[in-house]
Chains A and B, each alone.
Chain A
Amino acid sequence: MTAAFASSRPGVPLIDGIDKVLGRARYTADLDRAGALVGRILRSPIAHGEIVRIDTARARALDGVIAIVTGADCDKTYGVLPIAMNEYPMARDRVRYCGEPIAAVAAVDEETAQRALDLIDVEFRALPAYFISKDARAPDAVLLHANKPGNVEREVHHDFGDIEAGFAAADLVREHRVSCAEINHAQIEPHACLADFDPVTGRLTVQDVSQVVYYLHLMLARCLDMDESQIRVIKPFVGGGFGARVEVLNFEIVTALLARAAGGRVFMQLTREETFITHRARPQTDVVLKLGMKKDGRFTACACEVTQRGGAYAGYGVVTILYAGALLQGLYDIPAVKYDGYRVYANLPPCGAMRGHGGVNTRHAFETLVDRMARELGLDPFAVRRANLLHAPMQTMNGLMVQSYGLAECLDVVEQASGWKERIGRMPPGKGLGMSCSHYVSGSAKPIHFTGEPHAVIHLKLDHDGGVTALTGAADIGQGSSTMVAIAVAETLEVGIDRIRVISSDTAVTPKDNGAYSSRITFMVGNAAIDAAKNLKKILIAAAAKKLEAHPDEIDCAGGIFRVGRGGQAMLSFKEVVAAALVDEGAISVKGSFTCPVEFQGGKHRGGAVGSTMGFSYGAQVVETSVDEATGMVTIDKVWVALDCGHAINPLAVKGQIEGQVWMGMGQALCEETRYLDGLPAHASFLDYKMPTIVESPHIEAFIVESNDPNGPFGAKEASEGALAGFPPAMVNAIVNAIGVELDEIPATPDRVLEAIVQHQRKVKLAQKKARS
């Protein structure tokens, strides 16, 4: 399949954008909170220990305290994976990380709530706490969870192809070890939840920052032991997610528990510190990667061992550790791949899914090793990648389907745009160029909560006003998914986008959707939207045919005008056709759905569903950097990035997503990390968690490559994660190019870089000495 380069269509602004720029978009904390109590959470001061006693009597006696809940009020575990729910909304008999919720208070105001927390007495019996994987895995370590020996939540061993033969066939075999720090989503909106419980009807309404209202709905029913029909979850505007809000989070359930206990309305907004502690982001990861390469750059084999420090509870862990291995494939042609993964428990806040879920740190290890080996073999980094391209359609050894593949074009585009050929090897001192490739799934082809239902459903409503309302459970969290739905419906119906209204994520109104994760929305919900619009169009065409006294097959519909035959004389406007259709039907509701066929749902091996998708996006990028060798400061001068998203349904939004994800990769590469001091977060503010400011953020030149996926909506694939993983390795490769120093750790903070420079100089001196003697 050949790919068309870039898209010249400009795209459209977000349909809810005007609300945001006017300041009238209401996020959870902006909702009407009349009469709401204030909820606050008491958090564990210790990293690991048994709860001997909780006494809330003094707090309850405080004037203005309306409700207090503790672990005793909820004996149901929750979690995103049905197979690994091992967490209570509030700790019951044991705390496993600093900051874990223990109890919560609803009071008339913030001060009272805070004072009440101070009056809750908790007695602990401390247990040894582990903050690094190695300590947690030590033979004599106390187990965080009795059923997980060695504090390993999940071990994965996958072996595809003949690994030994692969390495034997190589001209060069190299192994290296890299370590990637834990990072956080750090969406700017702090977590918040507004819960209403009506003791008369027994109904619960929760408005919240969720990326997946359906999961929250499920977990609320489970933890509050309520019938699902009595619950409604609504997502207002959401200030970013990046994976933070895919899993149900403890504070959401706690707020609902408080609302029920108080018999009313409770508002909870977490501080920035608490938002960081809630975490669920990318784990600290150690990767040992071994690669075999032929003289011409072809890969012969890849062996990879990954250890993820997952934090205190399962969360998404099993999926993350599986992704890390699965995504070794699907980007290049590698004859043999062996993967060993270990997801380890530690006494830290639980990790989870974050943009680029699972793939980023292994990709970093892979793409930096490829460059090391290319240097040794005297090969150009672009040439090595080109020597290993896949040919779509194909299926990888681990059962992943590649139906469209625009990586070759991505490489061409960034090589040219960056002037690579002319500039590489001729950069001034301290400046360097680096490149790398990456990919990501367009939605997990097998949903986490597998029920057998379609993967996405859209409802369309059409009434006397001639407006089409699309109802979707897909959460727009700023990525523009509602706009995508509007475009998909409008283009299929061939009407203007202003005729479409999108209502998203209200479980009382919108159909169930698996939500905003793994970049599934455009592919799955987009296809469902097109299906729904086609179904609606059929009804309209039938009505037009009847009115025009023609056969439906004769009706031509373009630009909202219905005629008999192309250029026919008799014609009806959209509104006339709607009126005609309503005569027979009354207000019209139609549905569209999408299901990933089983052959796309991954390999048959254990864990084979993770990584499976209908289509991979592909990205290539070049990073230009300057390194100040005196201070170790790294500056990113410019980035050129191309992403094959199949087809850009909204090129403006796609470019925004490409820039945003590359920049987020830059944050991880350059300066972001979460660190703990004896289990207490040392990063839990925007001063200490150093996400880049606008000052050091470079211009990112984004190019769209369109490979037209055969199954994607209008040929589209995902566009918001695939290029993220390419940044860290491209930057590290650029640093090597600039100063000849390899970094084994990211982020490349000035202290790490300076240390690497000093070590490097030491090594060089030693080598010189040896050579002389």
Chain B
Amino acid sequence: MSARLSEFQLVQPARIEDAIAAFVAKPGARYVAGGTDLLVNMRRGIVSADRLIDLSGVAGWGSIDADAEGMTIGAGVTIAALARDPIVISRYPAVAQAATSIAGPGHRNVATVGGNLCLDTRCIYYNQSEWWRKSNDYCLKNRGDTCHVAPQGKRCHAAFSGDLAPVFLALGASAEIAGVDGRRRVPLSDLYVEDGRAHLSLKPGELVASVHLPAVLAACAYEKVRARGAIDYPLAGVAVALMIAGGKIVMLRIALTGTNSRPFLLADVDQFIGKSVDDAMLHGVDRLVQRQVQPMRTTLAAAHYRRLAAAAVARRVVRRLAGA
């Protein structure tokens, strides 16, 4: 007998507009896609909803369309479908790589791209049962008024731990967002905010409809550090897109997950343009990563470790892509 969820009504719209309308009509509504994050959180009592809006029946929601310009991935595409799509594998192998590293096969068959991008942030003081959190007087992110990770501060440092976002960021993705006022397209990085309590810039009722990846010539790879080989979130995950011409870097993007409340593109990497990938450059990457990541005590693994590991992996992936 699993703990029953609080009662709610499930609505199953067939069009995005209806989904949004259903959301706006009922305060306390929530979107659910695969449910592998949301339903787990509901079972723990950290999220509750009077109405769940099931996005899985929305038409056109789960398609992957590729052309010369790039690729558009519907938010409803399952992680499993993404991982085995032949065009994804051939054009964006890093995407398939990241997708395969998410949770376990049973999750991936239902989990979606949209859910992965909008995954709730995580913290050892937050992803706990109701009894646990209550015994600990809750916390800023949920019902309480202090953060146990940084009690002096005013913000929540829960970590974003999705695996797809960094790869998409490195590939220069944009997101199509649908809301009451229609659709807008934003660079994917604009979807995120460095705040563990509200890490998405979505307005009420808005949802991610699709992700667009431009055609890229850069080589791209993703690597995540975690304690186990499966069903484990990244302690740190690094995606790198790198293009080299004549031995010199002409394009470089590095994106990280698991270390901050949002996935983010490493700033100031342009300094490496025109340089070659050598020890000095790798050392520079290491320093940039260490300076920009902000891991906090939100995982059982030490925060400092996540910093070091992120930097080590960044170095390694850059070197590997450069074939150096």
The residues of A with any CB-CB pair to B shorter than 8 Å are 29, 38, 43, 45-46, 98, 110-111, 114, 269, 271, 273, 630-633, 671, 675, 677-678, 680-684, 686-688, 690, 692-696, 749-751, 754-755, 758
Given the interface pairs A675-B300, A680-B135, A751-B301, the reply to whether A633 lies near B228 with Cβ below 8 Å is no
Enumerate chain B residues within 8 angstroms of A750, measured Cβ to Cβ.
225, 227, 235, 301, 305, 309
In whole angstroms, how far apart are the Cα atoms of A98 and B148 in the complex? 18
The reply to whether B232 and A690 form a contact with Cβ atoms under 8 Å apart is: yes
Would B1 and A273 count as touching, CB distance under 8 A? no
Interchain Cβ contacts under 8 Å between A and B, 29 examples: A38-B1, A110-B4, A114-B3, A271-B129, A273-B131, A630-B312, A630-B313, A630-B315, A630-B316, A632-B305, A633-B225, A671-B228, A675-B300, A677-B124, A677-B136, A678-B136, A680-B135, A684-B129, A686-B231, A687-B127, A690-B228, A692-B228, A693-B228, A693-B229, A693-B230, A693-B231, A750-B235, A750-B301, A751-B302
Q: Is the CB of B227 within 8 A of A749?
A: yes
Complex: chain B residue closest to A692, CB-CB = B228
Q: Contact at A43–B309, with CB atoms within 8 Å?
A: no
- The CA of A98 and the CA of B133, in the complex, are separated in Å by 12
B231 contacts across to A, CB distance below 8 A: 686-687, 693
Contact between A110 and B3 (Cβ–Cβ < 8 Å)? yes
Interface of chain B: mostly helix, strand, loop or mixed? loop
Given contacts A98-B135, A687-B231, is CB(A110)–CB(B305) below 8 Å?
Answer: no
Interface size for B (C-beta < 8 A) is 35
CB distance from A130 to the nearest CB of B (A): 18
Interface residues of B in 176-216 (CB under 8 A from A): none
Instruction: Give chain B nearest CB distance to A369 CB in angstroms.
Output: 27
Is B125 an interface residue when CB atoms closer than 8 A count as contact? yes
A681 to B128: give the CA distance in the assembly, Å.
Answer: 9
Picked from A631, A686, A696, the residue with its CB within 8 Å of the CB of B229 is: A696
A-B contacts besides A693-B231, A694-B230, A750-B227, 19 pairs, CB < 8 Å: A38-B1, A45-B131, A46-B135, A110-B1, A110-B4, A630-B313, A631-B309, A631-B312, A632-B305, A677-B136, A680-B128, A693-B104, A693-B228, A695-B229, A749-B301, A750-B301, A751-B302, A754-B309, A755-B302
Q: Which residues of B contact A758 (CB under 8 A)?
A: 308
Q: What is the distance, in angstroms, from A706's C-beta to the closest C-beta of chain B?
A: 35
Q: Which residues of B sit under 8 angstroms from A111, Cβ to Cβ?
A: 4
A98 vs B104: C-alpha distance when bound (angstroms): 32
Q: Which B residues are in CB contact (< 8 Å) with A687?
A: 127, 231-233
On whether the beta carbons of B129 and A273 are closer than 8 Å, the reply is yes
Kindly supply a per-residue 1/0 record for chain B positions 104-127, scoring 1 wherever the CB is within 8 Å of any chain A CB and 0 otherwise: 100000000000000000001101
Which listed residue (B4, B134, B304, B316) contacts A45, Cβ 8 A? B134
Q: Which of B271-324 contact A (CB under 8 A)?
A: 300-302, 304-305, 308-309, 312-313, 315-316
> Which single residue of chain A is at the shortest CB-CB distance from B297?
A677
With an 8 A cutoff between CB atoms, is B132 at the interface? yes
User: Which residue on B lies nearest to A630, using beta carbons?
Assistant: B312
Query: Quick check: A754 and B308 within 8 Å, CB to CB?
Result: yes
Q: Which residues of A contact B124 (CB under 8 A)?
A: 677, 682, 688
Name B3's contact: one of A98, A271, A680, A683 (CB within 8 Å). A271
Contact (Cβ within 8 A) A632 B309: yes
Closest 8 CB pairs of A and B: A695-B229, A45-B135, A751-B305, A630-B312, A696-B229, A693-B230, A695-B230, A751-B302
Residues in B224-261 with C-beta less than 8 Å from chain A = 225, 227-233, 235
In the assembled complex, which residues on chain B have CB atoms less than 8 Å from the CB atom of A692? 228-229
Contacts of B308 in A (CB 8 A): 754, 758
Give min CB distance, B322 to chain A, whole Å.
16
Return chain A residues, CB-CB under 8 Å to B135.
Answer: 45-46, 98, 680
Q: Which residues of A contact B309 (CB under 8 A)?
A: 630-632, 750, 754
B residues adjacent to A (C-beta < 8 A): 1, 3-4, 104, 124-125, 127-129, 131-132, 134-136, 148, 225, 227-233, 235, 300-302, 304-305, 308-309, 312-313, 315-316
**Which chain A residues border B230 with CB–CB below 8 Å?**
693-695
Question: Complex Cα distance A223/B232, Å?
Answer: 42
Closest to B135 in A: A45
Cβ of A696: which chain B residues have Cβ within 8 Å of it?
228-229
The complex places the Cα of A632 from the Cα of B311 at a distance, in Å, of 13
In whole angstroms, what is the CA distance A752 to B128 when docked?
Answer: 25
User: CB distance B300 to A682 under 8 Å?
Assistant: yes
In the complex, the answer to whether A688 meets B225 with C-beta atoms within 8 Å is no
Q: Which residues of B contact A271 (CB under 8 A)?
A: 3, 129
**Min CB gap B221→A, angstroms:** 15
- Bound-state Cα–Cα, A392 to B231, Å: 47
Residues on A with C-beta less than 8 A from B136 are 677-678, 680
- Could you say which residues of chain B place their CB within 8 Å of the CB of A754? 305, 308-309
Q: CA separation between A682 and B302, bound complex, in Å?
A: 13
CB nearest to A683 among chain B residues: B300
Nearest A residue to B312 by beta-carbon distance?
A630
User: Which A residues touch B148, using CB under 8 A?
Assistant: 677
User: In the complex, A693→B230 CA distance in Å?
Assistant: 7
- Shortest Cβ distance from residue B293 to the other chain A in the assembled complex, whole angstroms: 14
Q: For the complex, what is the distance from the CA of A681 to the CA of B3, rounded to whole Å?
A: 19
The distance in angstroms between the C-alpha atoms of A633 and B234, with both chains bound, is 13
Q: Which residues of A contact B316 (CB under 8 A)?
A: 630
Q: Give the shortest distance, in Å, between A449 (CB) and chain B (any CB).
A: 34
Instruction: Note all chain A residues with C-beta closer than 8 A to B227.
Output: 671, 690, 749-750
| Bound form: Cα–Cα A681–B230 in Å | 22
Alpha-carbon distance A271/B309, docked complex (angstroms): 34
Chain A residues, CB < 8 A from B301: 749-751
Partner of A755, one of B132, B134, B305: B305
Q: How far is the CB of A144 from chain B (nearest CB, A)?
A: 19
A675 to B299: give the CA distance in the assembly, Å: 12
Chain B residues with CB under 8 Å of A630's CB are 309, 312-313, 315-316
* Chain A residue, CB-CB nearest to B303: A751
- Whole-angstrom distance between the alpha carbons of A677 and B304 in the complex? 18
- Interfacial chain B residues near A686, Cβ < 8 Å: 231
Nearest chain A CB to B319 CB, angstrom units: 10
**A697 to chain B: closest CB distance in Å?**
8
List the A side residues contacting B305 at CB < 8 Å: 632, 750-751, 754-755
B228 / chain A contacts, CB cutoff of 8 Å: 671, 690, 692-693, 695-696
Shortest beta-carbon distance from A102 to chain B in Å: 12
Inside 8 A of B131's CB, which chain A residues have their CB? Answer: 43, 45, 273
**Complex CA distance for A630 and B311, rounded to whole angstroms:** 9
Task: Considering the complex, give the chain A residue whose CB is closest to the CB of B309.
Answer: A631
Q: Could you tell me the distance between the alpha carbons of A751 and B295 in the complex, rounded to whole angstroms?
A: 13
Give the residue of B132, B225, B300, B302 whose beta carbon is less than 8 angstroms from that of A273.
B132
Give Cα A771–Cα B235 distance, bound, in whole angstroms.
Answer: 39
Shortest C-beta distance, B148 to chain A (Å), equals 8
The answer for the CA separation of A751 and B307 in the assembled complex, in Å, is 11
| Complex interface: chain A residues within 8 A of B229 (CB) | 692-693, 695-696
- CB-CB nearest in chain A for B45: A114
The chain A residue sitting closest to B132, CB to CB, is A680
Neighbouring A residues of B315 by C-beta, 8 Å: 630
Cα(A755)–Cα(B228), bound, Å: 18
Closest partner residue, chain A, to B104 (CB atom):
A693
Please, which residues of chain A bring their CB within 8 A of the CB of B104?
693
Chain A residue numbers with a CB within 8 Å of B4 are: 110-111
Q: B235 to chain A: which residues have CB within 8 Å? A: 750
Which residues of A have CB within 8 Å of B1? 29, 38, 110, 269
Min Cβ gap B101→A in Å is 10
Nearest CB of A to B138, in Å: 12
Task: List, in ascending order, chain B residues with CB within 8 A of A98's CB.
Answer: 135
CB distance from A272 to the nearest CB of B (A): 9
Q: Which residues of A contact B129 (CB under 8 A)?
A: 271, 273, 684
Contacts of A678 in B (CB 8 A): 136
Tell me, rounded to whole Å, the shortest Cβ–Cβ distance linking A96 to chain B: 15
Q: How far is the CA of A45 from the CA of B132 in the complex (A)?
A: 8
> What B residues does A114 contact at CB under 8 A?
3
Contacts of B127 in A (CB 8 A): 687
Distance to closest chain B CB from A693 (angstroms): 4
| B233 contacts across to A, CB distance below 8 A | 687
